[in-house]
Structure 1
């Protein structure tokens, strides 16, 4: 069969690319290594799929070139995403911080839109197909792949890498796009897990284990950025939305500062309570804001049995420091199996921001997670995937 392009990977970027190419009368073939397309879409947001974010801008992405995403995000906007899915019966329900989920809360509805459209537009999908090599040919590329024990190859004029990054190997994630990019002498920005829980070891570990299971609205900060959302204490360290967000910026050795009561000043609250009931113990007072389990875990840090009226200046300073400037030095992260996305990837210096075509290898395109563009938690990575798939489709 004659195809205008071969797309490696049937995830968000690859599926959007195939559909948009189909709208333009182009024929594509998706090679997907899993038994079905959209594997990561199906598990995203706990199976509900946070498919975009109303607040999307270039500021919500991490890249060696922070301006790179602007072209794609302007060619395919959040409104375009919303209109596209509404056209096929999927209406968004806004949750916190601009996050948009299908009203049905079913990620499979998103995937079904693409499967149906690929069928209607005669876009081919081969599942259980693992691409093993891509070689430059005189009139395009030869792509080698395996279907079961069967080794095959196909010649195509253009190739799109939409094969994702390293997170969640059990969902079919590999470094294939990065390996092929390196083979073709393209520069790679150093990769690492992103949107990932952080681990605590050493003398702080037992303290965190005692706090395990507590979720607290907090502000988590590094010198240049902070996020206000829930954090979750676990027996191995820290998780929750604010931690996942900051993890994309965290580097080994960095110290996080956590404000456990970002909307108030703990000392002002104590002073106000003193006037009403100075005999109340600090421990009882703190249960207004935190679980009893969390408060009890602080017994070695602050004088919980003492009544508010008798707290000394030094003790108040200790309390203030603990709740507003809680410092922690993570030992590491939980790795790619627990990461939602990958940081780094094919360098944006290698790609045209307008077309996402390789500057060095004509006819070679990279989109989605394998590119050095990493979105915040909350639908931003999907918006980049849809946008990059759309942009590539215009040019293949």
Structure 2
């Protein structure tokens, strides 16, 4: 169908994407008396907010600083996170009836445990301030003009084009394609001459294949508190064995720092010394079998699996120094070489995106294309698991709104 005539809009900006960044941007712009239009390709806004944290939405982290974000420029996120702090996020949601409760490691969830309450704050405020939200509107082209931009999109089966002086690209990243995720923001950036860093799935489960796979598969469902590390990062949280490899918070965290072909290491008893533990037990009960001892530290199923690597049928008194050292190496430096990841389908976020040197850290506006802003996941700033990426999205939305 032929496109309609291009229309001049009365909006101060068109926001592409009705996720965390886009919604916060529209609301903050409204507070400043600016009118915006959100174009959202899904039939509702906040799709990823609604599914985050198992539908509970871990909306920030009490300990968020720029240090928990990966980027080619580790300092880029400083400005936005300073302009919109964790306290600002907490106060904002409290103002509109959402009290936070801390779970673990600073993770803040709504008292109601309902992600929809977070989305409702934004949709209610947008309605109150007459900020427009058009759903089922898939943007196809953003083009620069002499006085701004034209934004072409398909809605209700019709091609439409609007003119605007400012565009906010809050279209997200590639994870969870079934939720409508695409690379539109990245394609648009490249088309308009901006550089994009390599993108990969992050906060994602790791797969094990080949001869080692059956060993992991037999442990599917077992969860163990561990320290997982490589030469770039270290995390102490649970890992979860699955029929295809490893998942759980610690694995998702380290996945952002892992590259194909590399090993990761697991300390199954963080903060403890297995040799000292065995020697202490041996002094009291040297006849105890190693398998029985390990079964007291882990589940019997996990102890049985470890028996493939240790002399489980020997009693503690008969373990040699070399055997003790081998046990210590297994327990404190369990080496894993993942085959790959579960990809964007299972990834929480995307690593990489629009290069930070293309944007002003203070305003998030493109240096090359005035009036074009990028925020949230499509920027090369990726947070840890635990509410950090939402804090970045809220901060981006606020900062961009101040500069529209």
> Quick check: TM above 0.5?
yes
**CA deviation profile, 1:8-37 (whole Å, cap 9, x unmatched):** 000000000000000000000000000100
Gaps of 5+ in 1: none
1:186 pairs with 2:194: yes
- Report how far residue 387 of structure 1 moved: 0.1
Aligned to 2:389: 381
State the secondary structure of the residue aligned to 2:108. Answer: strand
Which residue, out of 101, 114, 132, partners 1:93? 101
**CA deviation profile, 1:50-70 (whole Å, cap 9, x unmatched):** 000000111100000000000
Q: After the TM superposition, which of the residue ranges 56-65 and 306-315 deviates more from structure 2?
A: 306-315
State the secondary structure of the residue aligned to 1:7. Answer: strand
What is the correspondence of 1:133-212 to structure 2 with a 5 Å cutoff?
Answer: 133-212=141-220
Aligned to 2:110: 102
Provide the C-alpha distance between the structure 2 equivalents of 1:291 and 1:106, rounded to a whole number of angstroms. Answer: 33
Aligned to 2:57: 49
CA RMSD of aligned residues (A): 0.8
Gaps of 5+ in 2: 1-8
- Report how far residue 224 of structure 1 moved: 2.5
State the secondary structure of the residue aligned to 1:96. Answer: coil
- Report how far residue 147 of structure 1 moved: 0.8
State the secondary structure of the residue aligned to 1:144. Answer: strand
**CA deviation profile, 1:60-114 (whole Å, cap 9, x unmatched):** 0000000000000000000000000000010110111100000101000000000
Aligned to 1:23: 31
- Report how far residue 167 of structure 1 moved: 0.1
**Number of equivalences:** 396
Scaled by the length of structure 1, the TM-score of the pair is 0.99
Which residue, out of 385, 397, 402, partners 1:394? 402
Which residue, out of 216, 232, 237, partners 2:240? 232
1:111 pairs with 2:158: no
Provide the C-alpha distance between the structure 2 equivalents of 1:128 and 1:321, rounded to a whole number of angstroms. Answer: 55
- Report how far residue 332 of structure 1 moved: 0.6
- Report how far residue 304 of structure 1 moved: 1.6
**CA deviation profile, 1:154-201 (whole Å, cap 9, x unmatched):** 111100000000000011100000000000010001000000001111
State the secondary structure of the residue aligned to 2:24. Answer: helix
1:277 pairs with 2:285: yes
Provide the C-alpha distance between the structure 2 equivalents of 1:243 and 1:298, rounded to a whole number of angstroms. Answer: 19
Which residue, out of 101, 112, 132, partners 1:124? 132
Aligned to 2:21: 13
Aligned to 2:264: 256
Q: After the TM superposition, which of the residue ranges 349-358 and 254-263 deviates more from structure 2?
A: 254-263
Superposed structure 1 runs of 4+ greater than 4 Å apart: none
CA contact (8 A) 2:286 2:317 kept: yes
